[in-house]
Structure 1
Amino acid sequence: MRPAGKRSFPLNADQRDAAQAWVDFGERTPSKPRLASSVVLLKDSPTGVQTYLTYRPGGSPLGLVAFPGGTVEPADDDVTDWVGPSPVQWAKSLGTAKVEVAKRHVVAAIRETFEETGVLLAGDDASSLVEDVSGPEWMKARESIAAQESTFAELLDRRGLAMRTDLLKPLSHWLSPDFAHRRFDTRYFAAARPVNQEPELLASKGVWGRWVSAADILAARSTSALGDEIGLESTVGLTLGELLVPGVEIILEKLATARGCIAYLNHKRPINEYQPTLVADHDGNFALEVEASPASEGAACRER
């Protein structure tokens, strides 16, 4: 029986070898995590709140299926076209004294969402928002940024746009487990889908992505329905817990109880830091254990 307040999650296939090596060769200094950001895009629907999930190739530490996101890049420091809460205010919201780190997380969140889905949280000023980002020119710009042939800062400058940081809401802070070969220090944010913008996968890298009902996805969590739908060798036959990292699964659980996008985005929640730890049963089977904060669990209930 696990201690009260703790939850157990399965390891995915990529983590099992790393976990076994961690145990076999003795615990050692974990690798330094890379900064990353991920954005939970939201929209209301007749069946409840929906969010946009994508397949992530290459054994991403964010999971095989995740919200749009990725690592902070050096060029993110070049972005100065900014409206909404200042980097200092964002540092306070994220619970860090490192203003530059907070700024990088926010820039990466908006840039990665644009790269992966084409949804752009930017406008001419604090009261405007780009309405149509479809078409070959926008796709070409996304491909260029993803290939690091140009920067997000250059795109904003060229089009006279500023990031709308006020459209992001902080959700949670997750650190990869110590045993992982590739570790992320990930900040999760939420944002409503802008009017007249619809996600479109990156032409060169997109494999699978769609709006999902959090409640429907969770209802089938013990089956391989989602993995089979994606239809790749790396996903077929896997249950939801084997496709997602704990952070994504917990966010989906909270989304499933939300009354709507506005209620979810306006909810005041503590920005708790989570880090799964490796545990093993008497038979040597590994799992990830997460300390569930009473404050965060209560918040989930109040979003009903």
Structure 2
Amino acid sequence: MIEDILAGRVEPVPARHAATVVVLRDHERHGLQAFMLRRVRSMAFAPGAYVFPGGSVDPRDGDATPAWSGPPPAAWGSAFKAGETLARELVCAAVRETFEETLVLLAGPTGETVVDDTRGDEWEADRQALLDRSQSFGEFLDRRGLVLRSDLLRPWAHWITPLIEPKRYDTRFFVAAMPEGQRARDVSTEADRVAWVRPAEAAERAAEGEWMMLPPTIVTLAELAEYETVADVLAAPREIVVHEPTAEIINGEAYLIMPESEARHYDLDG
């Protein structure tokens, strides 16, 4: 199949727009930490991999007009080189997916506050309605009278799954600080383990083969390992460029070639 795609005999699968959020906190003893989930091994995409919360956009969010605090969709579109509609979908996906997978909600009663607790049956009912798409994210915010806090997010990176993959995503990466008063929890049915971990430690576990990760996750962790605090990360200037690994056949073996700036080759056969 790889050879057929590279030779143009088979059309690659279109990439779905998605958002991923690296939720960060400052730990008194361990310093900067990121929240990660390990995907269950039954998942079709990246089974067993340690990932950040995230998922595909919902087209319903493109036309939604929820209460919004912080950079408007047009500003996010400028950062991610996306149209305003897609930018709105991406920000909504970032906040929605983080809530669905961790109960962390970057929204509050006003543009200067966040909800202080997302536990309880009513919150869980809302989470389930978002998961099965019987409720849009805009409807959820409007019904609860919440303001989306886009000012709590920062743009970090843009990765596109290689052409040769059977499932492909066009993913914008965000970073965000863990809201004060909230707790990240293991609520996702797509994950069987969660962990707060120092970026450098997580990257080292991946390098040693202890934790399975996709290349964009490893690169992001290596980048975050250069910072000491959440404030340092959020203040870091970022130029968002598109990273799209390519595949090549080298001496009869298939390899994933990372963008030149990353200088890595990955054996697609393990």
Q: Deviations over 1:117-159 (max 9, x none)?
A: 1000001222111111122321221112101222222221111
Structure with the largest fraction of helix: 1
Quick one: which of 63, 79, 82 aligns to 2:68? Answer: 82
TM-score normalised over the length of structure 1: 0.79
Instruction: Give the root-mean-square deviation of aligned CA atoms.
Output: 2.1
1:92 paired to 2:75 = no
Q: How does 1:1-304 map to 2 (within 5 A)?
A: 19=2, 22=5, 26-45=8-27, 46-57=29-40, 58-60=43-45, 64-77=49-62, 78-96=64-82, 98-202=83-187, 204-226=189-211, 243-282=212-251, 284-293=252-261
8 Å contact from structure 2 (residues 101, 188) kept in 1 = no
- Compute the displacement of 1:206 (Å): 4.0
How far apart, in 1, do the equivalents of 2:95 and 2:75 lie? 17
By how many angstroms is 1:222 displaced? 3.9
Alpha-carbon distance change, 93 to 272 in structure 1, aligned in 2, over 3 angstroms: same
Alignment check: 8 A CA contact 1:169 1:191 kept: yes
Give the distance between the partners of 1:62 and 1:253, measured in 2 at CA. Answer: 22
Partner of 2:266: none
Contact (CA 8 Å) 2:100, 2:188: kept in 1 or not?
Answer: no
**Cα distance in structure 1, aligned partners of 2:72 and 2:48:** 31
What is the total number of aligned residue pairs between the two structures?
258
Query: Displacement, 1:196?
Result: 1.0
Residue of structure 1 in register with 2:265 after alignment: none
* TM-aligned CA distance change 1:56 to 1:76, over 3 Å: farther
SS in 1 for 2:202: helix
Q: Alignment partner of 1:190: what SS?
A: strand
The DSSP-based 3-state class of the residue aligned with 2:255 is strand
The one-letter code sitting in structure 2 at the alignment partner of 1:150 is: Q
Q: Secondary structure at the match of 1:139?
A: helix
Q: Tell me the equivalent position of 2:268.
A: none
Q: 1:156-190 CA deviation, whole Å, 9 max, x = no partner?
A: 11111010001110011111111112211100000
Q: In structure 1, what residue type is equivalent to 2:254?
A: F
**% identical equivalent positions:** 33
Q: Distance in 1 between matches of 2:133 and 2:233?
A: 34
Q: Unaligned regions of 5+ residues in structure 2, if any?
A: 263-270
Distance apart, 1:292 and its partner CA: 3.7
Residue 38 of structure 1 deviates from its aligned partner by 0.3
The answer as to whether partners of 1:62 and 1:245 remain within 8 angstroms in 2 is: no
Question: 1: CA distance between counterparts of 2:122 and 2:146?
Answer: 16
